[in-house]
Structures are given as C-alpha cells and as structure tokens.
C-alpha cells in the first residue's frame, strides 16, 4: 500500500514538474542540432518535447537570417504565437513563455522585442546554454524581457548537459561553428561569430554517446566544417580528415558525412579520406555559388572556377562514384547574362546529384546589399527558373541511373503511406520501400526499382548489420 501511494505521489510530482516545450526550427542543419541542444539544456528543468505550440509552456523559435524570406517568416509565426499566449492566459490562467533563438535573434536583438513585445527571451546561437537561467529570470508579473546576444568568453558546449533524448539513426554533430570568410552576400560571420572548432575529445565523446544510444550515421556540421582545426588529444591541432579517421574507429558507427565545406579548405588529406575511409559516404555538398570568375571575385570567395573543378576531378579520381551537391546564388549584384551562362556551363560540367539555388537576397550589413548594381527581380526569377530546370534534370538523371542498382539503405523512419518506410542511400537519396518499424536503425541492401525527382523507390533485401 505504502509503495503504491509513494509511486502515485511520485507520479503526481513528476506531472506537476513536467512542462511542455515546443521548438520550431528554421534554417540550416546547425539550427536543427542547436534545437536539440536547447531541449537538452531545458530538460533538467522538467521540460519535455511537445509536437506543437498549443498546450506548450514554452515555445522557442530557432530562427534563420540567411535570406529575407527566412527572416520574415519569424514575425508571422510570432503573430500566431501571440494569439496562443493570450488565449492560454485569458482562458486557462496559464503562462506561455516565448523565446526567439538563432540567427535572427543574434542579428535583430532588441528589435524583436520592439516588434513583438510578447516575446520573453531573445537568445543568440552562442548563449543558449544559459537558457535555464534566462527562463528562470523571466517574470511575467513585471513583464521583464531578456535579450542575450553576447558572443561570450565561455564555450557553450562546455556548459550544455549531455543529450537527453536519443537522436535517431542518422544524427547531426556540430564540430565547428562560425565563419571567418566574409563572403560579400552572407550574414553568417555576423550571426554566428568567428570560427571555432571543438576539441577532438569532446566530439569523440559525444559521438560515442550518440552511437551507444542507437545512432548509426553521423553528419559532422560546421558553417565551414572543413576548416575544422580542433585541439587533438596530443595537444596538436587536428584537421577534419584526422577527426573523421578517429571517428571511423567507433564501433557501430557505420556512416560518416560532413557539411558544409568551402572549396578553399578542401585539403588533399580530406579528399583522400574519401578513398581511405569506408564509412565516409560518397556524397559531398561543396557550394561554389557561381560559375563566373568575375562574380566569384565580387563575392569574395577567393578562388576561381578551375580550382573548384580541380577539386571535383580529384574527388572523382579517388572515389569515382562520389555524388556532388552544391549551392548557387543567381542575380548577385553585377551578374551579367554571360556570368549566368557561365554558371549554367559549370553545372553542366560538374553534373550534380542535388543542389540548392537561390535568388540573391540583399542582407542588412553585408557589402553586397549596398552594391548599386542590383539585378532586377524579374531577371533573378528567370535565371533561377533556368538554373533549377537544369539542376532538376540532373537530379532526375542521377536518380534514374541508380535504377536497377543494389545499394545500402539506412532505415530512418516510417514513410508517408501505410507500410512504407524511408531511409537514405549512400548518395543521400531519399529511398522509400515497404518495410516495418523494427527495421529502423538498420542497414539493408536495397534494389532501387524506380526513380522520381526527389526520391527513389526500392525493395529491401538482406540485412547488412544489426544495431
Ligand atoms: N557556409 C556555407 C553556406 C551557408 S549559407 C558555405 O559557405 O557554403 C547557405 C547558402 O545560402 C549559401 O551557400 C548560399 O548559396 C545561400 N545564401 C547565403 N546568403 C545568401 C543571400 N544573401 N542571398 C541568397 N542566398 C544566400
Ligand atoms: Fe557565409 Fe561564405 Fe562563410 Fe559560407 S563561407 S558561411 S557563404 S560567409
Ligand atoms: Fe540560417 Fe544561421 Fe544557419 S542564418 S543558414 S540558421 S547559420
């Protein structure tokens, strides 16, 4: 009897302490990683993850500032959150705390509170380890607001608690942050700050924990991940190739990837890692942005088209099946028809398995925003359409060429339809197939039966390795 009521009391206490946290993530993979880490930071306070903002006690928008559209989405979402907050207060006497994190928080700071005074906390990408303290300081009675967008002395990774929930079969791991490259169009050096690499041992420790919790594939993240130069256990500086080799020794870690790389930091030993490490997947996201040397120079990219093509050739000579991916900007100030034609020619030469392309978006505080040679919106739109047509055709051709092949697929989640499961091929293709949930986290050989634009269908064969 005593034990039952103890249990019941414990249950009641846990219920009272449990709060619901909803995190909405915009932008790049680093934000996806950060969102999970914010949830880790708040878990000791009793916050558990909710699937939507309704009923949540705290909502965090982890935001992206890279293009105007991304940035403006935040304010429309904040409008919806205001209604949720007011309804909870008026109808249930319940307080909903709202935080804006990420790159818009860093860039706009106080301005967010001015535009949306119902926001309680504004916290930047380098200070979110302080969230527990910031949340405790929010006092709804005084309507105090907290803005913490410092670039602090301390390193957030040293303060964050370990992972609270397993990350799944394919997980992200940030190893490098910030950027010193200052491309003329880009806000990242301002929103994320200077380049910083985590020491090797903290990366390896986190990787081991993730693998012990069921992760089979790790994608190492950084705004310039191949500029990684972390302190090694020998006190020397290790580069990304060396870090990858070390991680490849972890038993149970079947696949490694890294993103995003800059062509300037694509060193020979990293290229050779694609030959030497079987865990390193034959897929590389290597943005060039433009196929015109004139535009590359104006963008402050510090390399020419030939250097990029040289890297692609070297990668293909060590790993002939490597699939390439990239990012492109059309309509950079001063981009002529010929410059754009050069971009199409480059895409033709490389042959991408997938790629992202964007219209240039002038961002406040970046040199390119003040350039008086802005390209008209309709020209940008036409160029984007032409480029996307070409890139889509290449993606479809890539997928089509895999029809009839057998390849390893890591099963990651349930698919859209009944009995359907989804995973990824070594080349990052999304693969759909008939399967069951108990296959999640395992790698199967899979026959690719049908190519689509953004995915392929397949039939599962033999299990490659049990989790
Ligand atoms: N660190 C990565 C890119 C991060 S931003 C790199 O150097 O490749 C992701 C992509 O967004 C960029 O590659 C670029 O293609 C695009 N991008 C960045 N700023 C932009 C802007 N002002 N307008 C349009 N696209 C932009
Ligand atoms: Fe931005 Fe250039 Fe740095 Fe990439 S390398 S994050 S595009 S400034
Ligand atoms: Fe966006 Fe910041 Fe990532 S601006 S792309 S969330 S680094």
Is the minimum distance from the CB of 105 to ligand 3 under 6 angstroms? no
CA angle 297–303–306, rounded 5-degree value? 115
Nearest alpha carbon to residue 159 among 61, 29, 37:
37
CA gap 182, 79 in Å, rounded: 33
Which tokens in the block code for residue 95?
């307080």
Is the minimum distance from the CB of 188 to ligand 2 under 6 angstroms? yes
Q: What is the pLDDT of residues 312-331, one digit of tens each?
A: 999 999 999 999 999 999 99
Atom index in ligand 3 nearest the CA of residue 187 equals: 4
For 163-400, CATH number out of 3.90.320.10, 3.80.30.20, 1.10.3720.10, 3.40.830.10 equals 3.80.30.20
Is the minimum distance from the CB of 323 to ligand 2 under 6 angstroms? no
Q: Which residues contact 72 (CB under 8 A, 6 or more apart)?
A: none
- The answer, as to whether pTM is greater than 0.85, is yes
CA gap 240, 269 in Å, rounded: 9
E-strand ranges in 175-313 read 176-177, 196-197, 217-221, 229-231, 237-239, 255-259, 283-285
Residue 416's pLDDT is what? 86
Which tokens in the block code for residue 348?
């033709």
CA of 168 to the centre of ligand 2 (A): 29
Atom index in ligand 3 nearest the CA of residue 62 equals: 6
Listed by start position, the domains of the chain span: 15-148, 163-400, 406-463
CA gap 38, 210 in Å, rounded: 17
Atom index in ligand 1 nearest the CA of residue 186 equals: 19
Helix axes 268-276, 240-248, angle to 10 degrees: 20
Atom index in ligand 1 nearest the CA of residue 181 equals: 7
Which tokens in the block code for residue 102?
């990420």
Kind of pairing between the strands at 121-123 and 146-148:
parallel
Q: Which residues does ligand 1 sit against, CB inside 6 Å? A: 66-67, 185-186, 188, 223-224, 260, 262, 287, 289, 327, 329, 358, 360-361, 363
Q: How many CB atoms lie within 10 A of CB 136?
A: 9
Q: How far is CA 370 from CA 106, 186, 193, 363, in A?
A: 21, 13, 21, 9
Residue 464's pLDDT is what? 86
Which tokens in the block code for residue 294?
């004139």
Q: How far is CA 218 from CA 71, 215, 271, 344, 393, in A?
A: 29, 7, 18, 33, 29
Atom index in ligand 2 nearest the CA of residue 192 equals: 6
| Ligand nearest, relative to CA of residue 288 | 1
Q: What is the CA radius of gyration of the chain?
A: 23
Nearest CA to ligand 3 atom 7: 188
Q: Do domains 15-148 and 163-400 have the same CATH topology?
A: no
CA gap 156, 136 in Å, rounded: 18
Which tokens in the block code for residue 365?
């505080």
Residues of the chain with pLDDT under 50: 1-2, 466-467
DSSP state of 292: -
Is the minimum distance from the CB of 285 to ligand 3 under 6 angstroms? no
Sheet strand arrangement including 97-101: 47-49, 19-25, 58-63, 97-101, 121-123, 146-148
Whether the bond between 255 and the residue before it is cis, its omega within 30 degrees of 0, is no
Nearest CA to ligand 3 atom 6: 64
| Ligand nearest, relative to CA of residue 103 | 3
Contact 335/292 with Cβ under 8 angstroms? Answer: yes
Is the minimum distance from the CB of 223 to ligand 2 under 6 angstroms? yes
Pocket test for ligand 2, best of 66, 262, 264, 266 (most atoms within 8 A of CB): 262
Q: Taking the CA atoms of 125, 130, 131 and 134 in sequence, report the sign of the dihedral they define.
A: negative
Residue 467's pLDDT is what? 45
Thinking of the domain 15-148, which architecture would CATH place it in? 3-Layer(aba) Sandwich (3.40)
Is the minimum distance from the CB of 179 to ligand 2 under 6 angstroms? yes
Which tokens in the block code for residue 290?
């433009």
Q: How many CB atoms lie within 10 A of CB 416?
A: 7
Contact 232/238 with Cβ under 8 angstroms? Answer: yes
Question: Is domain 406-463 in CATH 2.40.50.140, yes or no?
Answer: yes
Diameter over CA atoms, the chain: 83
Q: Which residues contact 343 (CB under 8 A, 6 or more apart)?
A: 290, 291, 292, 295, 328, 330, 387
CA of 179 to the centre of ligand 2 (A): 6
Token look-up 């806000």 returns 187
Which tokens in the block code for residue 389?
């047509």
Burial environment of residue 143 by CB neighbours within 10 A (0 to 12, 13 to 18, 19 or more)? exposed
Residue 1's pLDDT is what? 41
């Amino acid at each position: 009897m005593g034990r039952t009521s103890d249990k019941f009391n414990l249950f009641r206490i846990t219920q009272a302490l449990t709060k619901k946290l909803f995190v909405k993530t915009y932008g790049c993979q680093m934000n996806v990683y950060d969102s999970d880490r914010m949830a880790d930071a708040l878990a000791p306070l009793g916050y558990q993850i909710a699937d939507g903002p309704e009923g949540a006690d705290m909502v965090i928008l982890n935001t992206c500032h890279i293009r105007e559209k991304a940035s403006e989405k935040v304010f429309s979402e904040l409008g919806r959150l205001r209604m949720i907050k007011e309804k909870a207060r008026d109808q249930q006497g319940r307080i909903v705390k709202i935080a804006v994190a990420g790159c818009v928080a860093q860039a706009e700071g106080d301005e967010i509170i001015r535009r949306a005074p119902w926001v309680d906390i504004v916290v930047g990408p380098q200070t979110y380890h302080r969230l527990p303290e910031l949340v405790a300081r929010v006092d709804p009675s005084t309507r105090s607001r907290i803005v913490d967008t410092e670039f602090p002395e301390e390193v957030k990774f040293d303060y964050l608690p370990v992972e609270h929930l397993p990350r799944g079969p394919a997980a992200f791991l940030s190893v490098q942050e910030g950027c010193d490259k200052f491309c003329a169009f880009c806000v990242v050096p301002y929103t994320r700050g200077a380049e910083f690499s985590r020491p090797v041992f903290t990366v390896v420790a986190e990787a081991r924990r993730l693998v012990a919790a069921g992760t089979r594939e790790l994608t190492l993240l950084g705004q310039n991940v191949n500029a990684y130069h972390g302190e090694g256990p020998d006190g020397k500086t290790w580069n990304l190739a060396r870090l990858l080799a070390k991680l490849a020794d972890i038993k149970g870690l079947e696949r490694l990837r890294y993103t995003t790389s800059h062509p300037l930091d694509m060193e020979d030993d990293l290229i050779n890692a694609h030959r030497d490490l079987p865990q390193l997947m034959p897929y590389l996201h290597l943005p060039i942005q433009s196929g015109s040397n004139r535009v590359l120079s104006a963008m402050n990219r510090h390399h020419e088209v030939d250097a990029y093509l040289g890297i692609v050739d070297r990668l293909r000579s060590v790993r002939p099946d490597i699939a390439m991916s990239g990012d492109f900007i059309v309509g950079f100030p001063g981009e002529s028809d010929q410059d754009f034609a050069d971009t199409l020619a480059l895409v033709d030469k490389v042959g991408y398995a997938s790629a992202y392309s964007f219209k240039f978006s002038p961002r406040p505080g970046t040199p390119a925003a003040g350039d008086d040679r802005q390209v008209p919106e309709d020209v940008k739109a036409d160029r984007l359409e032409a480029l996307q047509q070409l890139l889509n055709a290449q993606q479809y051709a890539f997928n089509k060429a895999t029809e009839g092949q057998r390849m390893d697929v890591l099963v990651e989640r349930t698919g859209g339809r009944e009995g359907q499961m989804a995973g990824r091929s070594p080349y990052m293709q999304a693969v759909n197939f008939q399967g069951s949930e108990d296959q999640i986290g395992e790698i199967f050989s899979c026959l690719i039966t049908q190519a689509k634009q953004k995915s392929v269908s397949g039939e599962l064969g033999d299990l490659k390795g049990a989790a």
